[in-house]
Amino acid sequence: MARQTITRSQLSEAVYQEVGLSRNESAELLESILSKISETLANEESVKISSFGSFSVRRKGQRIGRNPKTGEEVPILPRKVLVFRPSQVLKARISDATIDIPDLDEND
């Protein structure tokens, strides 16, 4: 099974096919969606997309980390991380559909 990486261009192409705006405008709309979500999260407000999932921001406290190469202790400063929780619908869709796909590579 040929696996591929989908990017902005395929998503905005899908918007173009679906709604019939110009390609340019489709790309701009996609960008507006992503930046509105980003801004909302930057304000620590969570974003819930029904039947897809929710994005929320979690605050992490300071802790002591270690440089794995030198063994040296370094403080990891308090920071905020983004958490994505897939909806049940998305989880079910992916688990059912991909269970037989043999080797997905898992590059993150």
Integer Cα distance of 53 and 86 in angstroms: 4
Residues in 89-108 at the binding interface with other proteins, rule: CB under 8 A: 90-91, 93-99, 101, 104, 106-108
49 binds other proteins, rule: CB under 8 A: yes
CB of 66 or CB of 91, closer to other proteins: 91
Query: How many other C-beta atoms are found inside a 10 Å radius of the C-beta of residue 26?
Result: 20
Q: How far is CA 70 from CA 63, 65, 73, 77, in A?
A: 18, 12, 9, 19
The SS3 call for residue 101 is coil
DSSP one-letter code for 57:
E
40 binds other proteins, rule: CB under 8 A: yes
CB of 72 or CB of 100, closer to other proteins: 100
74 binds other proteins, rule: CB under 8 A: no
24 binds other proteins, rule: CB under 8 A: no
| # of chain residues touching other proteins (CB under 8 A) | 57
